[in-house]
Chains A and B, each alone.
Chain A
Amino acid sequence: MAGKTLYDKIWDAHVVHREPDGTILLYVDRHLLHEVTSAQAFEGLRVAGRSPWRIDTALAVPDHNVPTIDRARGISDPVSRVQVEALDRNCAEFGITEFSMNDIRQGIVHVIGPEQGATLPGMIVVCGDSHTSTHGAFGALAFGIGTSEVEHVLATQCLIQKKSGNMRVSIDGELGPGVTAKDMVLAIIGTIGVAGGTGQTFEFTGDAIRALSMEARMTVCNMSVEGGARAGLIAVDEKTVEYVCGRPLAPRGRLWDRALVAWGDLKSDDDAVFDKTVHIDAATIKPQVTWGTSPELVVPVDAQVPDPADEKDPVKREWMQRALQYMDLRPGVAITDIALDKVFIGSCTNARIEDLRAAAGVVRGRKVARNLKLALVVPGSGLIKQQAEDEGLDRVFKEAGFEWRDAGCSMCLGMNADHLQPGERCASTSNRNFEGRQGQGGRTHLVSPAMAAAAAIAGHFVDVRDLN
């Protein structure tokens, strides 16, 4: 019999019940919650008179709606305030741990899970948020769920699931200088397409993945969902263990020793069979910039905006034309000739300390270009903000003309006051360049933190590899 993939192993270890058609009742070890997708689930519990099955697996934080300035004054938008207060009230009523808005541990749910050690190898981690895939970097099977499923997990600690396929994405060789995990994952999505992983769970393998830090691995797994897969996994190694060790919620003492033994098996067997495999040579990846309204519509920074006329598939051609129209771009324009209005460094994709260091490294001693209306840095958590300030990164950004804000999702999706105005063009370290994502009529280009920083200094895209 063939060996098991990492996905098979975690899945098999969590099967509670199997229906005749293969539908599985799957046990959940960690349930992360935020304010946008949980209120209706808690209300469902109340209406049915149900209690949560196991509150010690739940951890909640408000992140999407929170302001990034003047937090002491509360939330001025009454609709946002009601939603955040609903989370506070629900957590208090049901006894769920919450890091509330003014807690130093507050931050983007997918940043604080790993930061607190709430995400552990081998777990099944769910959250009412598609970027839950981030936690797969720890060899945890982590995926986004809808609000009905949030209620289902609260009430039963389980989910009704069908197993997906196994798809290996192998990044072989070594990334070039100035090329990051963000460029890697954008290049993967550009290669396989936004639906390339539909019905699959990715396992990212290869030398270039092994060489990444845990934070960089989180960036790659974070965007699995942008490649169509609900989850993306990376096998546990010494970097995983080192990152987890000593975190507030990580096991200690004898339990730590036992966990380490179990985690040693959290990798695919050598003879495991994958349904699909894609190989990408890391050395061919250049810094990436999206030009359209989907992460798939991406090119290297030294390329030009593509011409839909060259596309043979009529549906895709029409899609590209619509994207160009929305983005107000013409085919053949050099990416480096695209001028910007705003720059956003943040989000669950790229707001960890290494991302801030990379951006600050580019910014240090330089000034934000005069054509920029706003350059924004939003750390992923209060603790990251504090660490960055201890390292003096806040001063680097502020001296250059960036705004330095409090933690949250912020302009990744603009549910708070941070968003684009119609027609504004933004270089963003976030994960989605959909129409209206950062504000109705706004135009988003996805890039790495270093590329966003370089674009802020130049006022247009530049190849970060050309800076000294």
Chain B
Amino acid sequence: MEKFEKVTGVVLPLDRSNVDTDSIIPKQFLKSIRRTGFGPNLFDAWRYLDQGEPDRDNSGRPLNPDFVLNDPRYREATILLARDNFGCGSSREHAVWALQDYGFRATIAPSFADIFYNNCFKNGILPIVLDTVVVDKLFGEVDASTGYALKIDLAAQTVATPTGETFEFDVDEFRRHCLLNGLDDISLTLQHADAIRAFEERHRGEAPWLFPNE
């Protein structure tokens, strides 16, 4: 997994609450058996004026000029600013793969849906929860200036605005450690293989019906 230490990037403001993963990556693109290539179909139904299909070249499709992703001011964006309950609905990790493939490294919102939040960490994307008042303020500042960029420092757990104003955020120590070092979860867990086997012994004793084939 790609390390996440410090990211400075242009902010794209997606001013809608309860953005669901069906909207982030519509169902027809879930038929892919790869982890890559979802970026051109990120927010497909909002981004284009026609209907997208998998395995189709997206370069010539008509863009929806009213959708923020198509606003030239945010073309280089790597930080997504969103509203409450971002990523709700389906567990599809394809939503995170699409954000990542497009180029986003972090998302900021007052709250995230639980499964989406987890999926972000597995792919080197940092989801940052900031207070609604702070998020409101950031939406205002993004709107007021072109090229508005934030500096995210995961080690320090801070987000800094262009004027130097700094906001702290919380993140679980374990997740922070994994992201900072780009660690692979499965390798980490397999270091506890003996503990897993010992647990299984105990569990088999307490609930043998869960081990019917042995």
Contact = CB atoms under 8 A, between A and B. Distances in A.
A155 B189 CA distance: 9
Contacts of B23: 434-436
B192 A16 contact: yes
B55 interface: yes
B190 A155 contact: yes
A319 B18 contact: yes
A152 B207 contact: no
Contact of A37 (B17, B54, B91, B192): B91
A68 interface: no
B119 A146 contact: yes
A17 B195 contact: yes
A146 B96 contact: yes
A164 B174 CA distance: 16
Given A147-B93, A255-B212, A156 B186 contact: yes
A16 B185 contact: no
B30 interface: yes
Contacts of A306: none
Interface stretch (B5-13, B31-39, B153-161): B31-39
Nearest to B114: A230
Indicate the size class of the contact surface on chain B: 35 or more
A349 to B, nearest CB: 14
Interface stretch (A123-131, A166-174, A235-243): A123-131
Interface stretch (B58-66, B71-79, B81-89, B141-149): B81-89
Contacts of B94: 147
A65 B33 CA distance: 13
Contacts of A226: 89
B192 A19 contact: no
A36 B208 CA distance: 32
A130 B89 contact: yes
Nearest to A84: B31
Interface string A364-393: 000000000000000000000000000000
B189 A152 contact: yes
B92 A37 contact: yes
Contact of A195 (B18, B30, B207): B18
**DSSP majority for the A interface?**
loop
Interface stretch (A22-30, A178-186, A202-210, A335-343): A22-30
Nearest to A151: B186
A81 B5 CA distance: 41
Interface stretch (A100-108, A213-221, A256-264, A454-462): A256-264
A27 B115 contact: no
A347 interface: no
Contacts of B30: 36, 64, 415
B31 A198 contact: no
A428 interface: no
B185 A148 contact: yes
Contacts of B118: 145-146, 149
A294 B19 CA distance: 10
Given A53-B196, A129-B90, A229-B114, 7 more contacts: A40-B35, A77-B31, A160-B188, A315-B84, A415-B31, A432-B20, A432-B90
Interface of B: 15-18, 20, 22-23, 26-28, 30-35, 45, 51, 54-55, 83-85, 88-94, 96, 111-115, 118-119, 122-123, 172-175, 185-186, 188-190, 192-193, 195-196, 199-200, 203, 206-213
23 contacts: A36-B31, A36-B92, A40-B33, A80-B31, A123-B210, A128-B93, A130-B89, A130-B90, A144-B115, A146-B115, A146-B118, A151-B186, A195-B111, A198-B85, A198-B114, A230-B115, A318-B17, A322-B16, A413-B90, A432-B90, A434-B89, A435-B23, A437-B22
